[in-house]
Amino acid sequence: MNKIYLDNAATTPLSEEVIDAMVDAMKMNFGNPSSTHSFGQEAKILIENVRRQVAEYLKVSPAEIIFTSCGTESNNMIIKSSVTHLGVERIISSPMEHKCVSESILDMKSRKGVEVAYIRPNEKGDIDMNRLEELLKSSDKKTLVSLMHANNEIGNLINLKETAELCKKYNALFHSDTVQTMAHMDLDFSDIPVDFASCSAHKFHGPKGVGFAFLRKSSGLKGIITGGPQERSLRAGTENVCGIVGLGKALELSINHMNEYRNQMETVKQYAIDRLSAEIPGVKFNGRSAELNNSLYTVVSVLLPYKNPLIGLQLDMKGIAISQGSACSSGASKPSMVMMMVLSEYEMDDCTPLRVSFSHLTTKEEIDVLVDALKEISHDFVIEKADAEHR
């Protein structure tokens, strides 16, 4: 059975070029970058080259890029260090953030007594900028705003520049979880006054276990992992040299092909929306994800008009890997906070969300296989529903 992978928002397959670059680094550059001899210095040069490359992409200084183990670590570091080292007393966020952000905020609330204000999104998943401004105006406490650039479940985007400028106007620090948009979009941080951002290499065909944090130099943020002086003493621990090399190669490929890949994925995404709309009566799309110009092009969040908590498993048995986005109100999986925000009570109880997420490797033929599989599954459910209504 030919397997089909439609879960690229969870992780992406490694590019061959990335694997080759990493293998070369593993074979030839095993030195510890902190060592002063040539073995160490050769490894150090590899890291600094990637740091420069990332800085060029974001139009920032290399000193503002700190390599970490993943997006989760970067977000934890930024939120926790803002409180412990920068004196943040209040955090404004939304209930739609990734768990690594929301749990870090809750941790700071319970351990450090930080005040937390959430902006509840509307049923389309939009964050109201007027509400953000009201909250920013309402307190003199030192504030961090943490709002993700693109939502990983429904693909909603915020206007990063507008949000950053609003935070700046009220003297608040601004952190954006950019894990789903780094290397997928042009990001110019010389123009967008964001203070902190995060990246994870495995979201753009790089390796797992490596990412970076962007920390605006003027913020004065400090690290939370202490030890040696690596990463300008902001993140102790011997660097993941081959991982960083892999991140660099993946970023280079993404940047070089950004427009081409984006066009390709937008075409496939629109094809998926059109075919699902035509073939599955009653299908809907969550948040802004069906609005091509107004959402992340790698994701479409589908709502099937019947309840089927086993759909992920059934599709997997047909060779299709996909994330359910679980809004089920019973069974083992709990509804995700994002789905709770954008779905009605009826939709939560009687419908099934599915997240289809693309890479440049995704083809229309794969979408056809998905649609056929969903038609087959949907058919059984529609018959069952009709039978139940007759009983």
Enumerate binding residues for ligand PLP (CB under 6 A): 70-72, 98, 100, 148, 152, 177, 179-180, 200, 211
Residues in CB range of 350: below 8 A, 6 or more apart: 305, 306, 307
Q: How far is CA 251 from the centre of its chain?
A: 15
Q: What is the dihedral of CA 353, 358, 363, 367, to 10 degrees?
A: 0
Of 98 and 288, which has the nearer Cβ to ligand PLP? 98
Nearer to ligand PLP, 196 or 377 (CB): 196
- Report the alpha-carbon distance of residue 264 to residue 72 in Å, rounded: 29
- For ligand PLP, which is the closer residue by CB, 283 or 327? 327
Catalytic residue among 167, 242, 328, 351: 328
* Position with the least CB separation from ligand PLP: 71
Q: Please, are residues 318 and 6 in contact by the beta-carbon 8 Å criterion?
A: no
Shortest Cβ distance from residue 100 to ligand PLP (Å)?
Answer: 5
Q: Distance (Å, rounded) from C-alpha 119 to C-alpha 365? A: 40
User: Strands, E, within 106-241: which ranges?
Assistant: 115-118, 143-146, 173-176, 196-200, 211-215
Minimum separation from the CB atom of position 180 to ligand PLP (A): 5
Q: Which residues contact 191 (CB under 8 A, 6 or more apart)?
A: 59, 161
Residue 280 near residue 304, CB atoms below 8 Å: yes
Cβ 140 to ligand PLP shortest distance, Å: 30
CB 373 within 8 A of CB 313: no
Which residue lies nearer to ligand PLP by CB, 44 or 149? 149
Encoded amino acid at 265, one letter: M
Question: For ligand PLP, which is the closer residue by CB, 7 or 347?
Answer: 7
Sheet holding 299-304, edge to edge: 284-285, 299-304, 352-357
**Shortest separation between residue 185's beta carbon and ligand PLP, angstroms:** 14
CB of 67 to ligand PLP, least distance (A): 12
Q: Tell the smallest beta-carbon distance from residue 162 to ligand PLP (Å).
A: 20
- Of 15 and 308, which CB lies nearer to ligand PLP in the complex structure? 15
Please enumerate in sequence order all residues whose Cβ is within 8 A of that of 20, keeping only pairs 6 or more positions apart, or say none. none
Residue 379 φ/ψ, nearest 5 degrees: -55, -50
Q: Is 328 annotated in the active site?
A: yes
Query: Which tokens go with 390?
Result: 């007759």
Residues taking part in catalysis: 328
